[in-house]
Structure 1
Amino acid sequence: MNDYLHLYEAFIEFITHLGKKNKLAVRDLKRIFSKHFKDHQDSEDLLPLIKKLTLDNESDINSSFQKCIRICDELGPSREYYTLINILEHVVEDLVEKSDPKTTELTKNVLESFKRQIAQINLKIPKPPLFNMLLEGRSLVEWTSIYAFYPFIPKRIKGDGRPVLLIPPYLGDDYSTSFVRRYLTSLGFKTYKWDQGVNLIKSHYIPRLEEKLEDIFRTRGQKVNIVGWSGGGLFAKIMANRHPDMVEQIVTIGSPVWGVMDMKTPVNGVLEFFRGKSLKERNKRFLEELDPIPNVPITCIYTKTDGLLPWKHCMEAESFRKDIANIEVYGSHSGLGANVSVLLITANALQANIEGRTVEDTTTFIERFLYPFYWNKKKRSLFFLN
């Protein structure tokens, strides 16, 4: 939160000036802020800022707006801005109810301008560097070494027959998810293949996928957990958005869960060459369904050394809700289906979200050695030791 605290200070100042334009009193602004920040993942850090809120600041709405956008631009592209837009949309709804027509038009224009500016900032995510692309060769080692590592992977999680549907990556089939499926089955989960052959990320897969989801839900009498790798995560998110009543949670593995329409990837040219049209032209409406965040627990597994997809597109807005988590692993994109850390996190996430806990709470001390977040914390503790 430390990186974004300065941004939220500017954001609160900006909305405060918007409230002043709408002739709101301090107590009304505090009530509105508290209502819309209560579910924020860092509400404990933000609510004190709201308590200190005053209308004495001499800056105006234009300067506070530009300050907020400037900080976003300096921080760089991020899915976290989705939370800001969502809060602003709800605040604007509250303000419009009490404003005169002239002020209402101004307020709505401010919202649209903010959304445009954030969209422009998020266009700046570059495609993976050449070095990461070359590192994809590691996947051969990852897929061969998993046979040696698999017998030693801990099997302490109890699946208790909970249903899990696994969706393969782009150009992959059910064999691609075989190790994840095999591991979850060994823990007692009831796993299901996607049974649609090679995944070419086309919208015509959706009706059959919906039928399968409904069939599992009806047969098992339980909500279905969905795990999607890469392009499979797109379908997992769409199923969760369309059918939150049948989906327990989703776990995405190296999946571009937002911004796909403008995503820069080295495989774009290959897609257009073989298919005649780009993915976004063929499935525009399908991809537009990816933007909303499903109302189910979400765990996004990603690697910063991904050589095929920009890793920032593989992270959801953690600040939006407390049941959303982004977890980094070491490895290549192509090898994620045979990555020991991925297998462990997937199982831990499934159990944690069902029990209403965090993934870190369900992870043993030994397992944490496999994750970058453990070593990043160790580095920070060493840095501040003196």
Structure 2
Amino acid sequence: MSNTHLLSPSPAYPAPPLSLLAMEPLRAMFDFCAAKLGTHAQPVGDGHPVVVFPGLGGAPFTTSHLRRFLMASGFHAHCWGRGVNTGPEGLFDDWMAALVDDVRALHRRSGRAVSLVGWSLGGVYAREIAKLAPRAVRQVITLGTPFAAMGGGATHAESLYKLMGGNTSQLTPQLQARLRQTPPVPTTSVYSRTDGVVSWRGCIEKKGPVTESVEVSASHLGMATNPEVMRLVADRLAQPEGQWRPLRPTSPPSRPTR
């Protein structure tokens, strides 16, 4: 890999059309109703710990439905434990160090590697934790996380982050390149081409022996309550440790180049 690539900013993928953004609340409501009416957990889990990270602006209750589903599926699901996700506080590396400490502590208490499920910005946290503490992490699953397109207007979430007082000055080309790097553990990126908040192209993981990008039909705001997504997350988590296999026999799509 060349130094030029390492220092390059994220690709300039366009943000979703405003028409899709406008439909997000209604579609999210449909996702939630569908989950309440027709999603039944199957006992597929082995009891290992799973931490679920909310998206930007998300409080613990926004991931409660997914966590309850995972508990009913046989996993020991945990909230990330830090309240509303208002974005990294202070220096990014210091913020990540605190999250890594949380996961390592859970690893020590449980005696088992921890799976990480991150929604949108929460997926960025999950990926970076796995890079910093790979021995404590079993696998990573991200839901609508544009790790390959952070910055550059590829998401509508950037405006919300600024309104919440977030500082994007730390998102240098070096950090953007770092965020694009694949975690050294099995990694599943779940994305939707009809995502109205983030560019789906920025959610495509590079091909590798333990990576996959899986397309679903879901809104961004309803990603954590969409029945298809919840079943997919449980299926990925249910794989025996050390025996991870991609969901589909075909290779995941190549990361877009433009």
Q: Equivalences for 1:138-217 in 2 at 5 Å?
A: 138-150=27-39, 153-157=40-44, 159-202=45-88, 203=92, 205-217=95-107
The answer on 1:335 being equivalent to 2:222 is yes
1:1-386 alignment runs, 5 A limit: 89=1, 111=2, 115=5, 123-136=11-24, 137-150=26-39, 153-157=40-44, 159-202=45-88, 203=92, 205-275=95-165, 278-279=167-168, 281-282=169-170, 284=172, 289-317=178-206, 319=207, 321-352=208-239, 354=241, 355-360=243-248
Partner AA of 2:42 in structure 1: K
Deviations for 1:251-300, whole angstroms, at most 9, x for unmatched residues? 0011112231334223333433442x653x14547655413211100001
The alignment-based identity, stated in percent, is 27
Larger helix proportion of the pair:
1
Residue identity in the other structure for 1:226: L
* CA distance in 2: counterparts of 1:267 and 1:188, whole angstroms: 33
Q: CA deviation at 1:124?
A: 3.6
Contact persistence 1:138–1:335 (CA under 8 A): yes
Alpha-carbon distance in structure 1 between the residues aligned to 2:104 and 2:115 = 12
Structure 1 counterpart SS, 2:224: helix
Q: Secondary structure at the match of 2:16?
A: coil
Stretches of structure 1 lacking an aligned partner (at least 5 in a row)? 1-88, 90-110, 362-372, 374-386
Aligned equivalents of 2:3, 2:131: Cα separation in 1: 24
CA distance in structure 2 between the partners assigned to 1:305 and 1:245 by the alignment: 35
Deviation at 1:185, TM superposition (A): 0.7
Q: Rg bigger for which structure?
A: 1
Change (3 A) 1:232 1:267: closer
Equivalent in the alignment of 1:40: none
TM-score of the superposition, structure 1-length normalised? 0.58
Check the 8 A contact 2:51/2:80 in 1, yes or no. yes
RMSD over aligned CA atoms reads: 2.5
Bigger proportion of residues as strand: 2
Unaligned 5+ segments in structure 2 are: 254-258
